[in-house]
A and B are shown apart, each in its own frame.
Chain A
Amino acid sequence: MAFSTSGVDIRTRLQDLIPKLVLSPSIAAMMIFVYGFIVFTVYLSFTNSKMLPSYDLIGFENYAKLWALSAWWTAVSNLAIFASLYIVICTAIGLTLAILLDQKIRGEGVLRPIYLYPMALSFIVTGTAWKWFLDPGIGLENTMHLWGWQSFHFGWIKDRNMAIYTIVIAAVWQTSGFVMAMFLAGLRGIDNEILRAAQIDGASNWQLYRRIVIPMLRPAFMSAFVILSHLAVKSYDLVVALTGGGPGRATELPATFMYSYTFTRNSMGIGASSAVIMLMTIAAIMTPYLYAELKEKP
């Protein structure tokens, strides 16, 4: 009797332990490689690290230096331009395509993959394609000239003031199909009975969408906003491939700034502080969203 109960005890205790054991390598990795590393980078941002990490604290000096650098201000204002246009245009195109595709379109099965395939490509491939497409010498401008439209001019990629918009074009090309898929999923989840009832009440198509459908897509808007904004802050490869940060420094973003200050300009402390600012930006966007998400599905 006593034997069997203790046997059960050990067995159940072991059973209790196994799940935690299975989870523990991932938790350990996360604690070290994510949160430990974040703490370390934050620490470095308060030190006088140059080419190599140093552990001498110097307070907020790096942050003061960072915000005094015109290159950083360029990167931040570029991000503001890029992120807002990228998010707004992707959402607009994604929503438009989803609504149009939802009108019992013949050939939806062909069109959907065409809209979606760019998301399978790497930003380096996208950048390579668009870099050339937008090059005035051999790309679109040249083609238009050869087709007889001599006055056509499109040299944004070589123009300091306009180059950042070419990054927007390429990034929108890459992601708006993905946003479309999210909205389409939302649209297909809406109960048709509600729409029919509104139609019987005499609502026009426009009213139907403005008053009923779009408000019901709130969750899809939220997901799209969170995904697009975090992609925007992380954007690095596309700039490297499309413009290399140029002409001059016209298309630097915080991600390229961090990389060059840390690894090629030997200012690791400043690089670390710029990374911390990037993390704080993302955290400000993500935390409320994640909190709501976790509370909703306990």
Chain B
Amino acid sequence: MSGATQDTAVRTSGFSRTLIYLVLLLFALFFLLPFFVMLVNSLKPLSEITGGNMMALPQHWTIEPWLSAWSTAQIGVEPTGLKPYFVNSIMMVVPAVAISTVFGALNGYVLTKWRFRGDSILFGLMLFSCFIPFQIVLIPMAMVLGKIGLAGSVQGLVLVHVVYGIGFTTLYYRNYYASFPTELVRAAMIDGAGFFRIFWRIMLPVSGPITVVSVIWQFTNIWNDFLFGASFGGQSQPMTVALNNLVQSSTGVKEYNVHFAGAILAAVPTLFVYIVAGRYFVRGLMAGSVKG
């Protein structure tokens, strides 16, 4: 019953159902194919790629390309593999996600339960800041990071991602907390509970679903960022920038199999997060938490 009411009441005949499944499967193929090709070819020796068919399974399975991409491939001028850049990305993404999510939760709490004159204007400004093209801040950001000595450092990238991530996390938590009954908060206030006590005891325990959405959103965005990493990464480039350097390098033979292994390595963390928690993300999206 509950399952049935979820879908539309439209009835379809046997023939059109076959057609529907066919279309859906064709699209599934379209979405899977590029990744399948990358995966298959990352497990082949180079000779099988340049001389063979990209759709074919490897004749000689090898994990050599993966080892090379991870620890010995030439990135820029150093034959370090992607490992140090992977570490950079982790060091960047963990604090940036944590800090921006904490601020987002507190901001959302203030903007819905402790409203004051002019708060919607502030929220409007924050909302707009989510959508600015980052080109508009690149030049001054480069100057400021240089001035405060954070240019080319992981800390600098953390700062950048926190600053431009707070808008989105605030948006998520604000929309979520808006539907939480304000009477409960007011009752707690009358009982003498303070700002942080209410947050800790009443708001946080119900914040699970939106925290999942906020963390996944921030994690994928920051991990996948290229523009800031390329502009301000310097000696601490994140994974995406290193991958691009690996793939675009113009010296020597193009080791496609190594490129693919590297590309998958760069995709593993976000794919992992998505597979483990993606269901909750979609559910959160569907609950209307993303209106922007």
Contact = CB atoms under 8 A, between A and B. Distances in A.
B289 to A, nearest CB: 10
B280 interface: no
Contacts of B127: 290, 293-294
B21 A143 contact: no
A33 interface: yes
A28 B25 CA distance: 50
A161 interface: no
B interface majority secondary structure: helix
Interface of A: 15, 18-20, 22-23, 25-27, 29-30, 33-38, 40-41, 44, 53, 93, 96-97, 100-105, 111-126, 128-133, 138-140, 142-143, 146-147, 173, 177, 181-182, 184-185, 187-188, 190, 192, 195-196, 199, 205, 208-209, 213, 223, 226-227, 230, 233-234, 236-237, 240-241, 244, 254-255, 258-259, 262-263, 268, 271-272, 274-276, 278-279, 282-283, 286-287, 290, 293-294, 297-298
B53 interface: yes
Interface in B19-47: 20-21, 23-24, 27-28, 30-35, 37-38
Contacts of B278: 113, 116-117, 120
Nearest to A257: B135
B275 interface: yes
Contacts of B248: 244
Interface stretch (B59-67, B70-78, B160-168, B207-215): B160-168
Given A37-B140, A241-B244, A278 B133 contact: yes
Given A129-B35, A132-B260, 10 more contacts: A22-B110, A30-B125, A44-B139, A53-B139, A120-B273, A122-B240, A125-B263, A128-B259, A236-B226, A254-B135
Contacts of A293: 127, 291-292
A121 B23 contact: no
A105 B33 CA distance: 22
Nearest to B246: A128
A129 B145 CA distance: 33
Nearest to A180: B27
Contacts of B226: 122-124, 236-237, 240-241
A236 B263 contact: no
B150 interface: no
Nearest to B162: A29
Contact of B10 (A19, A195, A263): A195
Contacts of A227: 292
Contacts of B8: 102-103, 187, 190, 192, 195, 213
Interface in B165-182: 166-167, 170, 175, 178
A122 B137 contact: no
A96 to B, nearest CB: 8
A185 to B, nearest CB: 4
B57 interface: no
A182 B285 contact: yes
